[in-house]
Chains A and B, each alone.
Chain A
Amino acid sequence: MCSVPGLNKRPRLGARRGGARRSPEGRGHSGVESVISILLLGLLLLIGLGVFIRQFDVDMGRFGIDTTTAGPLLEQTEPNMQEPALDALMPDGFKKFSEIETYDAGNLYEKINGKAPSYTESGFVKLFTQRFISKDDENLWMELFVFDMAAIRNAFSVYSVQKRADAGMLAFAKPQPCYRTSNGLYFIHGKFYVELIGSTESVALDKAMAEIAVKFASQKIVDDDKITEFALFPEKDAVQGSFKLYLANAFGFDAFTDIFTCRYKLGDETITMFLSKHPDPQDAQTTAESYYNFLIENDATDKPTANKTLKDIGAKVLDFYDTTEIIFAIGPFIGGIHEAENQKAAEELAARLLDKLSNTAKTIKND
C-alpha cells in the first residue's frame, strides 16, 4: 500500500496556516480577531470605568433630597461680603414680627417659588427678609426683602424689570432710584435690591417704609458703583425713572444682552429707546446685524427713511407688525428704537441717540 504524502497530515499545535492560530481542538483565530477582541475588552473596561466614576456624581436633588442644607455646597454659596443689619432698620412705633430669614440660590424658591429664576438668573447671591408690625395696630405689618444681587447692574436689572406701572418716584438723596406704590416701597442701594411690602394701604406704613429706606441707604455696606450707560441717553423728553436693564434675551433675541432702555414722550407718542455697550466696534456691528436678521426672519420688512443722519450711518429701519424698529451700531455701541407706533418720531429720537453716541464713541477713540 502506497502512502500518500500529506494526506493524513494534521497541522502542528500552534502552527500558523494562512495566518490562523490553531487551538488544541483545531479551532483557529486570526490576528484580526485578536485585535478586535482586545479592542472590545478595552471598550468594556472604559465603559466600566465611566460608570464607576459617574456614580460619584449623582444629582440627589433629582430624587427629592435636599442638598442645600449642609456641606460644601453651602460653603460655596456663602457670600464673602458685608451683610445688611436688618434689626437696625426697625422704624419707630414698630416691633419685630418675625426673625430674620435668609435664602440662597438653592432655596430661594421656598420664599418666592416661581419667581426665583428671575433672580437666580440675574446674579442673585442671598435674600434677607424680616417682618415688622405696628405696636398699635396688629393689621399694620410689612415685610422687608433685601436681595443681594452681587453687583449694582444686577440689582438695577431686577428692580427695573419689575417696576410697577403706577410707580411714584421718590426724591430721596439716597437710596436712588426709589419708588412707591399704594402698599409698597422699592429701591436699589449698590448691589442690593430692596422691597418693602405692606399688609395694606396705610399712611403709617408709608412713613415707616420711607424711614427704613433712608436708614438702609445710610448703612456703609456697598461700593459706590455707578451705571455709566444712563448718561449716554439723551435727556430731552426722557420719562423720569423709566430706565430698564435687560441682562439677557432682550426683545426676545438671545444675543441681546445688557440692553438698557428708556422711554421718551414726544407729543402723544411714548417711544422706547435702547442701547448697549459692547467690548469693541466689531462686536457691536455683528450683534446689530444679527438682530436685524432676527427681525427679518420674524417677518419684519425694511422701510425707506428720509432721515439723513440715519441713512449716513447705515441704520436699519424696519416695519415690524405695524411698528417701527430702528437699529444701528456706532463705535462700541448698539442703539435704536423698539416698537414705535410713529416712524417719524422714532427716527427723530434715533437720530438724537446717534448724535450723542457718536460724540461718546469719538471720545473713546481719542482716549
Chain B
Amino acid sequence: MTEQNVQNFARTRVTRETGTSGRRQFLARTGKAGISLAAAGLISYQLYDRYGPTTGVDADSLVTLPDFRVPDKLGQTMSIVKGPDRKATANKAIELLGGIERFVGEGQTVAIKPNVAFASSPMLGATAHPELVAEVVRLCYNAGAKQVIVTDNPINDPASCFTLSGIGKAASQAGAKVVLPKAHLFRHTTLEGGKLIRNWPVFFGPLENVDKLIGISPVKDHARAGASMSMKNWYGLLGGRRNIFHQDINTIIAELPMMVKPTLVILDGTEVMMTNGPTGGSVSDLRRANTLVASTDMVAADSYGCTLLDLTVSDLPYLTKAEKAGAGTTDYESLKPVFGTV
C-alpha cells in the first residue's frame, strides 16, 4: 500500500465513521425533540382551559334546571285558538291539549314565568297580559295545585315591572306567590353542548323545588332578534350582564329551549306588537290578531307565532338552530295542531 493509498483509506474510514456517528446523533436528537414536543403538547393540553376564566364558580356547584315536561300525546302537542278574549282562548287552548289536569297534578307546585321585562302598562303589549297570567294561575289551582309561583327576572327594576305591568297584582289576587329576583336565588349553570350558556348565573331559586313550569309570553317584534316569543321569554331567567348575548342573539335564543324544558308554553297573539319592539311604547305599535297558542313544543309555537308578525321561519335563524339542536320542530303543521275558536 503506498503512502497515498494509506492516506486515502484513512480519510474514507474517518468519513464513514463520522457519517455513522452523524446519523446516530441525528436519530437521537430527533427522538429527543419528538419526546419534548409530545411532552409539551400533553402538558399544554392538560392545562388548556377551552372556556377561559369564569366568575369563580367551580364545576361542582353548577346546577341544571329540572326537566318539567309531561309525556307527549299524539295530536295534542299544540293548539291554536282564535278569539278576542284571552281568558277564553287560554281555557280553550289548554282544553284542546287534554285539559289542565294533563299538565298540573293534585298537590303540585307550579311556577309560571310570564314575560315581565318592562315597567310598562299592559296596554302596550310589551309584557304578558295580567289577565292571562291570572287565568292560568286560577287554572292551576283548579287542577289541585298546592302552590303557584309567578316569577321573572326583569331587565328594569323588578318591583316596578311587576307593579306597572299589572302582573304582580293580578297574580297575587289569583292566589299566586310573586317571587322577585334576589341575588341568593341565582346559581350558575352550564348548558351541555352550549356555546354561550356556560357557567352563567340563572334564576334557579324559584324553580328548584317546583313540579311544573309554564311560560307565558306575548308575540312581539324585536329590534335585535326579529321577534320575541316563547323561546325568548326564557332569556328572563338569565342573570349577569346578559346583554352581551345580544351580540349573538340567534345562538342565545336557540340555547334557551335547551336549557329550559317547560311543561307548557302559552303564546299570546291576541294583540301583536308589530313595530318598535320589544318595548313598543304606543298602542299603534300593536295589531289585533286574536290568536293564542298553547304548546309543549315551543319551537313549533314560535314557528307559528312568527306568521302573526308577517315573518317566516327563515326570517328568524334561531328557530332553525333550535330545531337542529333537537329542541322542537319548525314544521308545526307536522304536529297537526288542534284549532279552535271562541
Contacts and interface: CB of A to CB of B under 8 A. Distances in A.
A111 B244 contact: no
Interface in B12-57: 13-14, 18, 21, 25, 29, 52-55
Contacts of B279: 112-113, 115
A165 B13 contact: no
A141 B223 CA distance: 26
B241 A61 contact: yes
Contacts of A197: 120-121, 124, 281-282
Given A7-B14, A182-B283, 20 more contacts: A6-B11, A6-B14, A7-B13, A61-B241, A63-B53, A64-B200, A66-B241, A109-B155, A110-B156, A111-B156, A112-B118, A114-B278, A115-B277, A164-B284, A164-B285, A166-B284, A197-B124, A197-B282, A198-B121, A199-B123
Name, among B117, B225, B241, B284, the residue most crowded by chain A CB atoms within 10 Å (CB to CB).
B241
Interface in A155-186: 162, 164-167, 181-184
A195 interface: yes
A27 B240 CA distance: 60
B224 interface: yes
A181 B284 contact: yes
Interface string B263-301: 000000000000111110111110000000000000000
Interface of A: 4-7, 9, 17, 26-28, 58, 61-66, 98, 109-118, 141, 143, 162, 164-167, 181-184, 195, 197-201
8 contacts: A6-B7, A64-B201, A65-B241, A111-B155, A116-B243, A167-B284, A182-B284, A183-B124
B11 A117 contact: no
Given A61-B241, A109-B243, A197-B120, A7 B10 contact: yes
A118 B121 contact: no
Contacts of A118: 223
Contacts of A198: 121
A184 B155 contact: no
Contact of A9 (B14, B224, B244): B14
Contacts of B224: 114-115, 117
B244 A61 contact: yes
Contact of A65 (B55, B117, B281): B55
Given A5-B7, A110-B155, A181-B282, A27 B276 contact: no
Contacts of B283: 181-183, 201
A200 B121 contact: yes
Contact of B53 (A26, A58, A115, A164): A58
A63 B282 contact: no
A27 B223 contact: no
Contact of A164 (B156, B164, B282): B282
Which 7 residue pairs across A and B have the least CB separation, nearest first? A64-B240, A109-B243, A114-B224, A181-B282, A6-B10, A199-B121, A164-B284
Contact of B278 (A113, A141, A162, A166): A113
Contacts of B146: none
A114 B284 contact: no
Given A4-B6, A58-B53, A66-B241, A114 B225 contact: yes
B195 interface: no
B52 A63 contact: yes
B147 interface: no
Contacts of A112: 118, 279
B282 A183 contact: yes
Interface in B126-176: 155-156, 160, 164
A199 B165 CA distance: 10
Interface string B212-245: 0000000000111100100000000001110110
